[in-house]
């Protein structure tokens, strides 16, 4: 038998691996094959000619908002270097303000804020994973409630996927086999109607859900009542325990179609509530709202992994019924990263236009604010730089605002513009995680402060 030369064989394997690695250096970044994202390797990063770099952008870490200093021509030049796309030239930063579009459309919201302490002002805040766990919305809520009154967190899901890291409420529920669920983010295989949050939960017998406020901020110390939203109920009763009382309130559900509201008041300020649903298929439950004093409420509606277009799947009749209970004064739509990388966004602009048109029709007194995608970094050689796909995406979001006469908050510019995500990751303390896509708790507060300050600047102009 012929003897194999293992030394030669090892050398050939190493040489082949080296050649493949070098070949990968010439592939474009962000390349995907059959939906699988290839990891970028640049073996020649230290010998390639460096790209033109922008002037450093200092990140403003105090509460004062300053104009973006990005040079639009330089931005396009760098993006074109990275992806060779003329489409990048279409993006220009917001300029002297991070709010863009029809700012007069915010007047309904501003008018509601003026009387919020006596009449209330409710906000629906939809977003992707960036707002899971009440990130961003918790600090946005606190900012507004400290100025215009209000308390507690508002609308909560029955069975949610972010309970382990939710920052404002300790949320627990009975085992999975006691619930059947459907949602816009996790699948709804039986096509159950979903509520305003894009979720529905159906008890399968001996089911329960419990909420407890966390002493996180001034406004989250207690609540005085809960509001349960449901449909398709059987003539049956539920049990409600405030503050883990041994004497529950037994409350009957109202049978029938259409979204029903059940208001249950606590005999004293409450820090926790547990609701038991003893019967199988007792109702389609959409959510429970913790309520307190009159003021500002911010309902957190996170749709993990979503582009925003699935909001269209919330039935019209459900939204119209909710409009009787929640007279929203502002609807925020914060999406983007889950759609980034498309070759063109014409279809996305069309679908988001449908959603905005629906909201305008069903909630005619609500102002609408889009929040653009944040900066997101990808590795280019040995450095992390702005994902070149963001230019076209943010331009598409500006187009959506223009076509629908609504406002846009340019989060990309507010963060510091080009290559700002790397600065947020390396800040002391860090403001973003090392996936270079998501802000952390400190960064979420920073984002909330930036949005709040921009809105308050416009509000003060109209006093």
Predicted local distance difference test score (pLDDT) of residue 336: 87
**CATH code of 143's domain:** 3.40.50.1110
Are 402 and 424 in the same domain? yes
329: enclosing H helix or E strand: strand 328-334
Which of 241, 266, 292 is the endpoint of a domain?
A: 292
Asked if the structure places residue 310 within a domain, the reply is: yes
Asked if the structure places residue 255 within a domain, the reply is: yes
Predicted local distance difference test score (pLDDT) of residue 14: 59
Predicted local distance difference test score (pLDDT) of residue 396: 93
Q: What is the side-by-side order of every strand in the sheet holding 296-302?
A: 99-101, 407-409, 367-371, 328-334, 121-127, 296-302
Are 338 and 456 in the same domain? yes
Residue 71, pLDDT > 60, answer no
- Binning pLDDT at 50, 70 and 90, where does residue 15 land? low
Are 82 and 128 in the same domain? yes
Predicted local distance difference test score (pLDDT) of residue 73: 46
From CA 158, how far away is CA 93, in angstroms rounded? 40
| Mean of all residue pLDDT scores within the chain | 83
Q: How many domains does the chain have?
A: 2
From CA 9, how far away is CA 70, in angstroms rounded? 53
Asked if the structure places residue 47 within a domain, the reply is: no
Which of 243, 267, 292 is the endpoint of a domain?
A: 292
Are 163 and 285 in the same domain? yes
Please state which of the ranges 15-24, 226-235, 277-286 shows the lowest mean pLDDT.
15-24
Q: Residue 274 belongs to what domain range?
A: 154-292
Predicted local distance difference test score (pLDDT) of residue 344: 83
* Tens-digit pLDDT profile for residues 207-247: 999 999 987 666 678 999 999 999 999 999 999 999 999 89
Asked if the structure places residue 20 within a domain, the reply is: no
Asked if the structure places residue 13 within a domain, the reply is: no
Predicted local distance difference test score (pLDDT) of residue 51: 36
Which of 292, 313, 340 is the endpoint of a domain?
A: 292
Asked if the structure places residue 231 within a domain, the reply is: yes
Are 272 and 358 in the same domain? no
Predicted local distance difference test score (pLDDT) of residue 97: 67
Are 314 and 455 in the same domain? yes
Asked if the structure places residue 315 within a domain, the reply is: yes
* Tens-digit pLDDT profile for residues 324-363: 999 999 999 999 888 877 778 899 999 999 999 999 999 9
Predicted local distance difference test score (pLDDT) of residue 8: 54
* Tens-digit pLDDT profile for residues 398-416: 999 999 999 999 999 999 9
Asked if the structure places residue 27 within a domain, the reply is: no
Collapsing DSSP states into helix, strand and coil, what is residue 114? helix
- Binning pLDDT at 50, 70 and 90, where does residue 17 land? low
The two structure tokens encoding residue 362: 């069903």
The full DSSP string for 154-165 is: EEE-SS-S-TTS
Are 410 and 282 in the same domain? no
Are 361 and 439 in the same domain? yes
**CATH code of 200's domain:** 2.60.120.1360
* Tens-digit pLDDT profile for residues 133-185: 999 999 999 999 999 999 899 999 999 888 788 888 999 999 989 999 999 99
Are 189 and 107 in the same domain? no
Residue 39, pLDDT > 50, answer no
* Tens-digit pLDDT profile for residues 439-461: 999 999 999 999 999 999 999 99
Please report the beta strands in 179-271, taking only residues with DSSP state E, as ranges in sequence order.
Answer: 179-183, 199-203, 207-213, 223-231, 237-242, 249-252, 260-270
Predicted model pTM: 0.80
293-300: average pLDDT: 95
Are 353 and 437 in the same domain? yes
Percent of the chain at pLDDT exceeding 70: 78
From CA 445, how far away is CA 451, in angstroms rounded? 10
Residue 66, pLDDT > 60, answer no
Residue 11, pLDDT > 50, answer yes
Are 310 and 272 in the same domain? no
Predicted local distance difference test score (pLDDT) of residue 420: 95
- Cβ-in-10-Å burial (0-12, 13-18, 19+) of 461 comes to exposed
Q: Identify the sign of the CA torsion 131, 137, 138, 139.
A: positive
Predicted local distance difference test score (pLDDT) of residue 427: 94
Predicted local distance difference test score (pLDDT) of residue 389: 86
Predicted local distance difference test score (pLDDT) of residue 321: 97
Collapsing DSSP states into helix, strand and coil, what is residue 383? strand
264-276: average pLDDT: 96
Are 275 and 162 in the same domain? yes
């Amino acid at each position: 038998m012929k003897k194999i030369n293992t030394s030669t064989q090892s050398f050939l394997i190493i040489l082949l691996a080296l050649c493949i690695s070098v070949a990968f250096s010439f592939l474009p970044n962000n390349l995907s094959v059959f939906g699988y994202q290839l990891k970028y390797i640049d073996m020649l990063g230290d010998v390639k000619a460096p790209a033109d770099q922008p002037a450093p952008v200092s990140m403003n870490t105090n509460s004062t908002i300053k104009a973006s200093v990005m040079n639009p021509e330089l931005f396009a030049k760098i993006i074109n270097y990275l992806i060779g796309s003329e489409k990048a030239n279409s993006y220009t930063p917001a300029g002297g303000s991070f709010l863009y579009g029809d700012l007069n459309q915010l007047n309904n919201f501003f008018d509601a804020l003026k009387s919020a302490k006596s009449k209330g002002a409710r906000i629906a805040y939809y977003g992707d994973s960036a707002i899971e766990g009440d990130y961003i919305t918790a600090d946005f809520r606190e900012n507004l409630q400290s100025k215009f009154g209000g308390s507690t967190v508002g609308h909560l899901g029955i069975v949610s996927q972010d309970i382990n890291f939710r920052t404002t409420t300790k949320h627990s529920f009975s085992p999975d086999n006691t619930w059947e669920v459907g949602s816009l983010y996790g699948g709804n295989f039986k096509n159950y109607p979903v509520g305003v949050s894009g979720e529905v939960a159906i008890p399968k017998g001996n089911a329960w859900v419990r909420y407890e406020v966390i002493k996180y901020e001034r406004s989250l110390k207690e609540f005085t009542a809960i509001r349960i939203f449901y449909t398709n109920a059987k003539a049956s009763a539920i049990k409600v325990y405030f503050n883990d009382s041994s004497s529950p309130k037994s409350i009957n559900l109202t049978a029938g179609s259409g979204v029903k509201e059940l208001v249950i008041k606590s005999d004293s300020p409450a820090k926790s509530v547990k609701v038991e649903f003893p019967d199988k298929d007792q109702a389609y439950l959409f959510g429970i709202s913790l309520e307190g004093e009159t003021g500002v409420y911010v309902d957190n509606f996170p749709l993990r992994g979503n582009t925003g277009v699935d909001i269209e799947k919330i039935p019209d009749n459900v939204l119209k019924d909710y409009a009787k209970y929640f007279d929203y004064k502002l609807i925020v739509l914060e999406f983007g990263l889950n759609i980034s990388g498309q070759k063109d966004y014409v279809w996305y602009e069309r679908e988001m236009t449908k959603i905005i048109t629906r909201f305008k029709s069903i909630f005619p007194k609500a102002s609408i604010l889009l929040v653009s995608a944040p900066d997101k970094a990808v590795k280019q050689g040995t450095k992390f730089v702005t994902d070149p796909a963001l230019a076209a995406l943010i331009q598409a979001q500006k187009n959506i605002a223009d076509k629908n006469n609504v406002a846009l908050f340019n989060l990309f510019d507010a963060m510091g513009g080009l290559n700002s995500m790397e600065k947020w990751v390396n800040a002391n303390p860090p403001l973003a995680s090392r996936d270079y896509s998501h802000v952390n708790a400190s960064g979420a507060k920073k984002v909330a402060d930036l949005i709040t300050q921009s809105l308050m600047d416009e509000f003060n102009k109209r006093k």
